[in-house]
Amino acid sequence: MDESVGSGAGAGIVTGLRAGAFLILDAAREQGLIATEQDADILRAAARQVASEDLPDGPDTSEIDCAVVVAELRSAAD
- List Cβ neighbours of 40 (8 Å cut-off, separation of 6 or more): none
Measured distance between the N- and C-terminal CA atoms of the chain, rounded to whole angstroms: 27
Domain of 11 in residue numbering reads as 3-77
Number of domains present in the structure of the chain? 1
Quick: pLDDT tens for 18-27: 888 888 888 8
pLDDT given at position 57: 59
- Which of residues 2 and 14 earns the better pLDDT score? 14
pLDDT given at position 66: 60
Quick: pLDDT tens for 15-71: 888 888 888 888 898 999 999 899 888 888 888 877 775 555 555 555 556 667 667
pLDDT given at position 23: 85
